[in-house]
Structure 1
Amino acid sequence: MRKLYFLVPGTAGKFACGGLWAELKTLRLAQQVCPAEVVTYRQREKETLFLDDVLQKRGEDVIFVISWGFDVPKLAARLKPYNVVYHAHSAEYGFKLPSSVPIITVSRNTMGYWGQRSPHALIYYLPNQISDEFQNLSLERDIDVLVQARKSSEYLLKELVPALQQQCNVCVVNSYVEDLAGLFNRAKVYLYDSAEYWATQGVSEGFGLQPMEAIACGCQVFSSVNSGLSDYLDPGFNCYKIAGYSKEFDIQRILKVVHNSAPVNLSEQFFAEYRTENIVQRLQRILSDINYFFDYKDQYSSNIQALTPLRLTKLRTQRIIAKIKERYFNSKT
């Protein structure tokens, strides 16, 4: 197994976010399979490798893992002579990658996007990890409705929440929570509506950890089902679809759940796909496959025709001509 270098712009300050924590979680899981280290490329940090320094070391047979969406095109170009893997969280950034770059996706939704956009690359599915602390502790639930302000829609924060606050105990979180699992275990209902946020960002929800974590802790979840959320959310069965038709209808459904429903009690089998054991096993197989590919990549050139705009135009033209010929032949017979 080659050593992995996980590239992130930085590990603190303005770069601290859910995407960074998810990437660092994957790094720690990868360390159970092979040597792996974090490498920053925008800000230098004490006791952390910096990309410029790493690239000065000649002869290292390593794999660079890139993931920061907006930086991926520049990083892929800079690292062209090296072995590179793209760890794809969100989609819709608009760039393309050569088939020499394997892609590991965090959701089947993102996998489908890259399956269409980069059909000749190696593509794998490795879901984000749900840490073991996210489980139902059977505590007293003193919060009726829990909302995290970040990524929430205007409708949720400015219309639905104020209306709910008049009828039940609503907790809106505006800052980092040290013990999120504990907070989820105190809540009866968790509201999550990220479709508007991601639409304004121009990219997609990669996975959506919070609704999954909330469900694991026993919360009844009202959520949007955009992009990666559609991997595991199943309205009517393990969640409710939020922003359903009207504010009044949402309020009625949420209050009904607050007053009458028991905590969610899904089997651990539902979460097994996202727990550590399964992810490490999948990562072992994926990295073995990728290492095998890099053993042989330089011996063969990529010779499968790409779906360029010119080739797509040619294929469409051929299809039209074939249909015309078929109609002409059928009219003669």
Structure 2
Amino acid sequence: MRKLYFLVPGTNGKFACGGLWAELKTVDLAQQICDAVVVTYRQRESDKLFLDDLLKDKKLDDVIFVISWGFDVGKLAAKLQHYNVIYHAHSAGYQINLPANIPIITVSRNTLGYWGQQSPNSLIYYLPNQISDGFTNLHQNRDIDVLVQMRKSSEYLIKSLIPALEKKCKVLVVDSYVEDLPALFNRTKVYLYDSGEYWKLQGVSEGFGLQPMEALACGCQVFSSVNGGLSDYLDPGFNCYKIAGYALEFDVERILKVLESSGSLTLSETVLAEYRTENIIHRLQVILADINDFFDHKNNYSAKIPDFTKIRLAKLFTQRIFAKIKKKYLQGN
């Protein structure tokens, strides 16, 4: 099993975000299977390896570089073209084309489908993000009616829905890092999440959307958008409610109704098991074994499957048009 170098631009300051935490969690899980370390490539950090220093050693056949930072993936793939590389794909839509010799590990089935279309000749795998065991329902009294986190929230949620709800119930809006998120979710009756607008403006998709799952695991009733990776596990009417339902008044009415009834929609333990540590480690072990086998033999293969280049697609499109014209002509005679 090759050593894994997980590449991130930095691990603190302006690089601190949900995507970084998810990647660092994956590093922790990988370390239970093989040797895995974090490597930075933009910001030098005293306790971390730095990519440019590593590349001075030309003998790196026994390592795999794991790239994940969406907007940097294209440049990193080009820089590391002579090495073993995996793309750990969180979001989709970055408008990048990857060579088929870079296996892709996706964090959601939504992203899996995107890359299945975008890179049909690549090895592609599904490895969902981990939900920690600490996110569980403690069945305690809940003193917060409605909880919302500012980051990624839509203008509608912050400027319209929240002000309307504040007139009717106890609302807590969080705009900073929460040290004990499971405890906060266990105090909350209804959690609101609406990230569609945020990701639309970013030009990419919601890669996974961990917070609604964490809230559901803690027993919250969740009103959420279902864009991108959220559609993997959210099922409006069965384990959650779709937020932004046509009109502000309708949303307020539905949320108050859930608060009055204490709600009953939950995410089953069967569904949650897919995202717990044991299953993630098992899947990662299988995936890494498969990828290591591919890297052992990839240089022996010469009959590579043609990629979906613009020239090839234009040629296929032209062939299709001529085939239709020929068929129509033959039918007319």
Q: Please give the range of the TM-score, normalised by the shorter of the 2 chains.
A: over 0.9
Find the residue that maps to 1:298 and give its secondary structure: helix
Comparing 299-308 with 148-157, greater Cα deviation is found at 299-308
Find the residue that maps to 1:238 and give its secondary structure: coil
Change (3 A) 1:81 1:302: farther
Find the residue that maps to 2:278 and give its secondary structure: helix
CA contact (8 A) 1:218 1:263 kept: no
Write the distance in 2 (CA, Å) between the matches of 1:95 and 1:58.
Answer: 27
- After TM superposition, give the deviation of residue 329 of structure 1 in Å: 2.3
> What is the aligned partner in structure 2 of residue 7 from structure 1?
7
- After TM superposition, give the deviation of residue 137 of structure 1 in Å: 0.5
> What is the aligned partner in structure 2 of residue 190 from structure 1?
191
> What is the aligned partner in structure 1 of residue 42 from structure 2?
42
- After TM superposition, give the deviation of residue 302 of structure 1 in Å: 5.8
- 1:219-234 correspondence to structure 2 within 5 Å: 219-234=220-235
Q: What is the one-letter code of the residue matched to 2:47? A: E
Change (3 A) 1:302 1:183: farther
Find the residue that maps to 1:33 and give its secondary structure: coil
Q: What is the one-letter code of the residue matched to 2:120? A: P
> What is the aligned partner in structure 1 of residue 73 from structure 2?
72
CA contact (8 A) 1:99 1:302 kept: no
Write the distance in 2 (CA, Å) between the matches of 1:177 and 1:245.
Answer: 31
Write the distance in 2 (CA, Å) between the matches of 1:168 and 1:321.
Answer: 65
Write the distance in 2 (CA, Å) between the matches of 1:18 and 1:114.
Answer: 22
- Give percent identity, aligned residues only: 72
> What is the aligned partner in structure 2 of residue 306 from structure 1?
307
Write the distance in 1 (CA, Å) between the matches of 2:169 and 2:183.
Answer: 20
Write the distance in 2 (CA, Å) between the matches of 1:83 and 1:301.
Answer: 17
Deviations 1:283-326 (A, max 9, x none): 00000000000001122246211111221122122122222222
- After TM superposition, give the deviation of residue 270 of structure 1 in Å: 1.3
Find the residue that maps to 2:45 and give its secondary structure: coil
Write the distance in 2 (CA, Å) between the matches of 1:139 and 1:11.
Answer: 35
- After TM superposition, give the deviation of residue 263 of structure 1 in Å: 5.3
- After TM superposition, give the deviation of residue 266 of structure 1 in Å: 3.6
Write the distance in 2 (CA, Å) between the matches of 1:313 and 1:136.
Answer: 54
Q: What is the one-letter code of the residue matched to 2:129? A: N
Aligned-residue RMSD, C-alpha:
1.1
Deviations 1:87-129 (A, max 9, x none): 0001111111000100000001111111111111110000000
- 1:136-175 correspondence to structure 2 within 5 Å: 136-175=137-176
Instruction: Please tell me whether residue 30 in structure 1 is matched to residue 26 in structure 2.
Output: no
CA contact (8 A) 1:137 1:217 kept: yes
> What is the aligned partner in structure 2 of residue 58 from structure 1?
58
- After TM superposition, give the deviation of residue 265 of structure 1 in Å: 4.1
Deviations 1:247-283 (A, max 9, x none): 0000000100011134544431110100000000000
Write the distance in 1 (CA, Å) between the matches of 2:175 and 2:268.
Answer: 31
Q: How many residues align?
A: 332
CA contact (8 A) 2:239 2:266 kept: no
Q: Calculate the TM-score normalised by the size of structure 1.
A: 0.97
Q: What is the one-letter code of the residue matched to 1:148? A: Q
Comparing 69-78 with 189-198, greater Cα deviation is found at 69-78
CA contact (8 A) 1:187 1:219 kept: yes
Deviations 1:203-257 (A, max 9, x none): 1100000001000000110000001111111001000000010000000001000
- After TM superposition, give the deviation of residue 154 of structure 1 in Å: 0.2
CA contact (8 A) 1:222 1:239 kept: yes
Find the residue that maps to 2:300 and give its secondary structure: coil
Write the distance in 2 (CA, Å) between the matches of 1:54 and 1:36.
Answer: 14
Change (3 A) 1:92 1:137: same
